[in-house]
Amino acid sequence: MPEIFIDGKRYEFEGKPKLLQFILDNGKEVPFFCYHPEMSAPANCRQCYVKVGTPVQNRETGEYELDENGERVIRWFPKMQTSCSMEMTDGMVVHTQETSEEVARAQKDTMELILINHPLDCPICDQAGECPLQIQTYKYGPEGSRFEVKKVHKPKRVELGPRVTLDAERCINCTRCVRFTEEISETYQLTIASRGDKNYPITAPGMEFDDPYSLNTVDICPVGALTSTDFRFKARVWEMNQTPSIDITGGKGTNVDLWTRDNLVLRLTPRYNENVNTHWMPDEARMAYTKFNENRISRPSIKADGDNQIKTSWNNAIETFAEKLEAVKPADVLVLGSAHASVEENYALMKTFSTWGVNDFYFSPDVKEGFGDDFLLTDDQAPNTKGVKALGFSETSAEDLKAAIKSAKVVVLLNDELVDRGVLDSEDLKKPYVISLATNETETSKSTDLVIPITCIAEHAASYVNVEGRIQRSLPAKETKYTHRKLDLEMSEGRLDRYGTNFDNWVNEDNKVDCTPTWELMNNLGKRLGLSIQFGTSREIMDEIASSNSSFEGVSYEKMDDENGIQLTGMNKEEVSA
Amino acid sequence: MANNYEFTPEDLKEIETIKAKFPEVMPATLPTLWVAQRRFGHVEPEVQHLVAETLDLPVSHVHGVATFYTQYYKEKMGKYVLDVCTTTSCQLCGGYDMLHYLENKLGIKAGETTKDGMFSIQSVECLGACGYAPMMQITNDVYVNNLTEEKLDDVIESLKADKMPEFESVGMPQHTERS
């Protein structure tokens, strides 16, 4: 097998990997800006310099020439090489900044050049704290600049498009954004305009950067040049908590990170998963965070007189729920699951009601024909269509659903905005007594008789099955009134969470929503109805599902965490049509 | 983008010939921009859109190329663009004097265009004719060497009569010796 010597250590490799990627894959580091594993390597930032040499080989015999000590004679490349574009060959010898003063010096000088016109506005820059330029300047850069002349000024606050704002002065012209539009999203909307020290990325005149994936350029921008118009100046990176989760605005199950501060989700960024979304996510999915914060239902509410809902106590809500059920036969109750809710929530609902005597369970799929593309957007608007189906909920059309609601006396509706997305009319929900378990105040929740607040994906750990049959899970990112970051070991703790107290002025008790997970609600309801059901944590519920439902065989939270999601057997990409 | 510019059939034919020279269409961007600049006198954003449309390339690419080269005029310029060199050799031999003389004569500053649309003046970097300093170039074309105020007067007069100055061959010392 071909071998390579990096900093005096021998590695074996296969194929023709590029040097920088190989170094990174082996847990070592070389600073870089313009390289991105998903895109071509133009080697224009010149930061990943390394010293490279190849052994001298006798052309006839193919043997390596040896010096007097019996060591291979190395012919060094006359100049430093950019490791991102350097193809590895057998016997190659590489020195990174770790073993070569020369390389360290070269990197430092390149950095000085890059920083010549870079404004020193880190204190007001959004990227500070997660800025490769900042980090690498600390690690490999010069202590100061020898340039005392005035820096070049370029346009600031350029609205490239509806979602991206450019600060051209901060740009180091790595062209990652330009290459993203050329190679990944293929909209060719960006280019580098002008030249020399005056250049910066921009759209063609009269054109907008309205690429449906435009915000990915903000993520890959190695400086603070491209910023999200929405997130700009909202929070410092180090004040936020990062929690892995899943996108719930589409069927793809894009892996995301939720960034929270004081129990508000402030932004979503893509999380790497080679099997689903790699490094990217659609802009569409980024605004989902508003649903986690705004218009949340806190405390149950009940229709008192006419159509007016008033807040009520949890006891009263459970009591009313149970009374309404006890007044009718199970056959008169219509239980609707939801593709917008997790596997665990749907399972808890189903198990409770089937124990009580309900036989049929339905859900209404949320598909927008023609919405999807070949990339990360799908026709399926719900994150868990395959999951609910696998649990045994049957798909129902709008007409059948209307008829079923008409003939039912009590309707139990799990988090699904049926009225808002046009499946039902609020008139349809008038006749039966409708109990909705919901996260947000919507037209649907307004048209129901009893609204019980449940946790959203940002508040519970639960799993979702994407259109490709891959089950992935979320982790709780924000506290509810009944959870505590320090007690729930699944919750991450940011700096402010750890060191803040309730008397800090950034802590706001109002951001905690008064809601419970569906399974806890079902526990309370079951207890009141005298059913022999008891749900533990969502982790335990998943174990229960895995042991009772063959579609979910072998699924557990541990395995999902280890493998970044599990491809369920018997579900493959071909049957995505639903 | 509504486009007020259009290539003539002859231009389109020329562009086809240009495209035929390259295995891909992208390298045709530069010569096609020249065709456009010859036709319209500039490559304003609208012209860039036209070029992109004609070549079926992203507008952003054409914009990037057009803004990279200073010889493409990204805004309307005078009929004659006077590029006065002000880099070292010309500077030492009076390049700025020539520039200022022109500015006063035409009543405009470098980077501006006269009201009648006849002349634009630009202060440019080295045009590679240091041996004949100070010098200027007229609309990316003829060099006028060894400028003096009198020579500038003559040039302006002849340009006003729509007569481009002749190309001047200036022999280098070594050439004179040999001959």
Among A335, A301, A343, A337, smallest CA distance to A542 is for: A343
Q: Within this chain, do residues B58 and B103 fall inside the same structural domain, yes or no? A: no
Min CA distance, B51 vs chain A (Å)? 12
Query: What percent of chain B is predicted at pLDDT more than 70?
Result: 96
Min CA distance, A279 vs chain B (Å)? 24
Q: Is the peptide bond before A119 cis (omega within 30 degrees of 0)?
A: no
Q: Within this chain, do residues B148 and B91 fall inside the same structural domain, yes or no? A: yes
A195–B67 CB contact, under 8 Å: yes
Distance set, CA A542 to CA A48, A195, A341, A441, A448 (Å) = 46, 57, 14, 28, 30
pLDDT band at A563 (very low <50, low <70, confident <90, very high): very high
Residues of chain A with CATH 3.30.70.20: 116-228
Report the distance separating Cα A171 and Cα A270, nearest Å: 22
Q: Within this chain, do residues B50 and B19 fall inside the same structural domain, yes or no? A: yes
User: Beta-strand (E) ranges in A515-569?
Assistant: 566-567
Contact residues, chain A, for B64 at CB < 8 Å: 191-193
The token pair at B54 is: 């004609």
Report the distance separating Cα A433 and Cα A334, nearest Å: 10
Q: Please report, for chain B, how many H helices and E strands are present, in that order.
A: 8, 4
- Given a cut of 80, whether residue A573 has pLDDT beyond it is no
**The one-letter amino acid at A429:** L
Report the distance separating Cα A317 and Cα A322, nearest Å: 9
| CATH number for the domain running over A3-114 | 3.10.20.740
Min CA distance, B4 vs chain A (Å)? 15
A194–B58 CB contact, under 8 Å: no
Min CA distance, B135 vs chain A (Å)? 25
pLDDT band at B176 (very low <50, low <70, confident <90, very high): low
Tokens 């239902």 found at: A297
Min CA distance, B130 vs chain A (Å)? 23
B58–A192 CB contact, under 8 Å: no
Tally Cβ neighbours within 10 Å of residue A282: 25
Instruction: Establish, for the pair of chains A and B, how many residue pairs have beta carbons separated by less than 8 Å.
Output: 40
Nearest CA in chain A to B45: A205
Contact residues, chain A, for B125 at CB < 8 Å: none
Nearest CA in chain B to A179: B61
Measured CA angle at A515 (ends A512, A521), to 5 deg: 155
B52–A207 CB contact, under 8 Å: no
Contact residues, chain B, for A181 at CB < 8 Å: 60
pLDDT score, position A575 = 47
CB burial of A522-552 (b: ≥16 within 10 Å; e: otherwise) equals bbbbbebbebebebebbbebbbbbbeeeebb
Contact residues, chain B, for A168 at CB < 8 Å: none
Min CA distance, A147 vs chain B (Å)? 22
CB A475 within 8 A of CB A271: no
CB burial of A171-209 (b: ≥16 within 10 Å; e: otherwise) equals bbbbbbbbbbbbebbebbbbbbbbeeeebbbbbbbebeb
Nearest CA in chain A to B44: A205
pLDDT digits (tens, 9 = 90+) for B66-108: 999 999 999 999 999 999 999 999 999 999 999 999 999 999 9
pLDDT band at A490 (very low <50, low <70, confident <90, very high): confident
Among A225, A262, A288, A298, smallest CA distance to A464 is for: A288
Residues recorded for chain A: 578
Measured CA angle at A366 (ends A360, A367), to 5 deg: 130
Contact residues, chain A, for B53 at CB < 8 Å: none
Contact residues, chain A, for B59 at CB < 8 Å: 204, 207
Q: Within this chain, do residues B37 and B108 fall inside the same structural domain, yes or no? A: no
- Given a cut of 90, whether residue A304 has pLDDT beyond it is no
pLDDT digits (tens, 9 = 90+) for A233-244: 999 999 899 999
| CATH number for the domain running over A116-228 | 3.30.70.20
pLDDT digits (tens, 9 = 90+) for A305-326: 878 899 999 999 999 999 999 9
pLDDT band at A496 (very low <50, low <70, confident <90, very high): confident
Q: Within this chain, do residues B26 and B84 fall inside the same structural domain, yes or no? A: no
**The one-letter amino acid at A289:** Y
- Given a cut of 60, whether residue A574 has pLDDT beyond it is no
- Which residue of B60, B61, B125 is the best one to mutate when testing the A interface, meaning the one whose CB has the most A CBs within 10 A? B60
Ordered DSSP codes for A477-526:
-S-BTT--TTT-TTS---HHHHH--TTSTT--GGGSB--B-HHHHHHHHH
CATH of the domain at B97: 3.40.30.10
Contact residues, chain A, for B60 at CB < 8 Å: 181, 188-191, 203-204, 207
- Which residue of A191, A195, A199, A203 is the best one to mutate when testing the B interface, meaning the one whose CB has the most B CBs within 10 A? A191
pLDDT digits (tens, 9 = 90+) for A328-354: 999 999 999 999 999 999 999 999 999
B45–A194 CB contact, under 8 Å: no
Q: What is the dihedral of CA A15, A19, A22, A23, to 10 degrees?
A: 160
pLDDT score, position B1 = 53
pLDDT score, position B3 = 77
Min CA distance, B44 vs chain A (Å)? 9
Q: Within this chain, do residues B103 and B42 fall inside the same structural domain, yes or no? A: no
Q: Give residue B2's region: left, alpha or beta (phi > 0; psi -120 to 50).
A: beta
- Given a cut of 70, whether residue B2 has pLDDT beyond it is no
Nearest CA in chain A to B1: A206
Tokens 């850069």 found at: A141
Contact residues, chain A, for B25 at CB < 8 Å: none
In sequence order, which ranges of A166-313 are alpha helices (DSSP H)? 176-179, 215-220, 283-286, 289-293
Min CA distance, B125 vs chain A (Å)? 14
Q: How far from chain centre, in Å, is Cα A136?
A: 25
Contact residues, chain B, for A186 at CB < 8 Å: none
Of A192, A206, A207, the CB nearest to B64: A192
B63–A189 CB contact, under 8 Å: no
Among A331, A336, A344, smallest CA distance to A394 is for: A336
Report the distance separating Cα A557 and Cα A164, nearest Å: 36
Report the distance separating Cα A352 and Cα A541, nearest Å: 13
Domain A301-459+514-577's class?
Answer: alpha beta
Contact residues, chain B, for A189 at CB < 8 Å: 58, 60
pLDDT digits (tens, 9 = 90+) for B148-174: 999 999 999 999 999 998 888 777 677
CB B48 within 8 A of CB A204: yes
pLDDT band at B178 (very low <50, low <70, confident <90, very high): low
Report the distance separating Cα B157 and Cα B166, nearest Å: 14
Tokens 């990360």 found at: A376
Nearest CA in chain B to A202: B60
Q: Is residue B84 one of the residues assigned to a domain?
A: yes
Nearest CA in chain B to A205: B45
**Cβ-Cβ contacts under 8 Å for B20 (sequence gap 6 or more):** none
Residues of B with CB under 8 A from a CB of A: 1, 45, 48-49, 52, 58-64, 67-68
Of A192, A194, A206, the CB nearest to B45: A206
In sequence order, which ranges of chain B are alpha helices (DSSP H)? 9-21, 29-40, 45-55, 59-68, 88-92, 95-106, 149-160, 173-178
Residues of chain A with CATH 3.10.20.740: 3-114
pLDDT score, position A144 = 83
Q: Is residue B110 one of the residues assigned to a domain?
A: yes
Residue A10 phi, psi (nearest 5)? -90, 130
pLDDT band at A498 (very low <50, low <70, confident <90, very high): confident
The mean pLDDT value for A516-529 works out to 95
The token pair at A430 is: 């008038």
Q: Within this chain, do residues B50 and B97 fall inside the same structural domain, yes or no? A: no
Tokens 């954004």 found at: A177
A205–B48 CB contact, under 8 Å: yes
Min CA distance, B61 vs chain A (Å)? 6
pLDDT digits (tens, 9 = 90+) for A289-301: 999 999 999 999 9
In sequence order, which ranges of A67-224 are alpha helices (DSSP H)? 101-115, 132-140, 176-179, 215-220
Residue span of the structural domain in which B29 resides: 9-68
**The one-letter amino acid at A529:** L
A207–B62 CB contact, under 8 Å: no
Contact residues, chain B, for A194 at CB < 8 Å: 67-68
Q: Please give the tally of structural domains in chain B.
A: 2
The token pair at A390 is: 């696998």
pLDDT band at A576 (very low <50, low <70, confident <90, very high): very low
CB burial of A420-432 (b: ≥16 within 10 Å; e: otherwise) equals ebebbeeebbeeb
- Given a cut of 90, whether residue A202 has pLDDT beyond it is yes
Q: Within this chain, do residues B42 and B86 fall inside the same structural domain, yes or no? A: no
**The one-letter amino acid at B55:** L
pLDDT score, position A577 = 43
The token pair at A379 is: 């026709």
Which ipTM value was assigned to this complex? 0.86
- Given a cut of 90, whether residue A544 has pLDDT beyond it is yes
**The one-letter amino acid at A62:** G
- Given a cut of 90, whether residue A565 has pLDDT beyond it is yes
Min CA distance, B128 vs chain A (Å)? 19
pTM, two decimal places: 0.91
Q: Which residues pair with A201 in a beta bridge?
A: A192
pLDDT digits (tens, 9 = 90+) for A403-429: 999 999 999 999 999 999 999 998 888
pLDDT band at A503 (very low <50, low <70, confident <90, very high): confident
- Given a cut of 70, whether residue A162 has pLDDT beyond it is yes
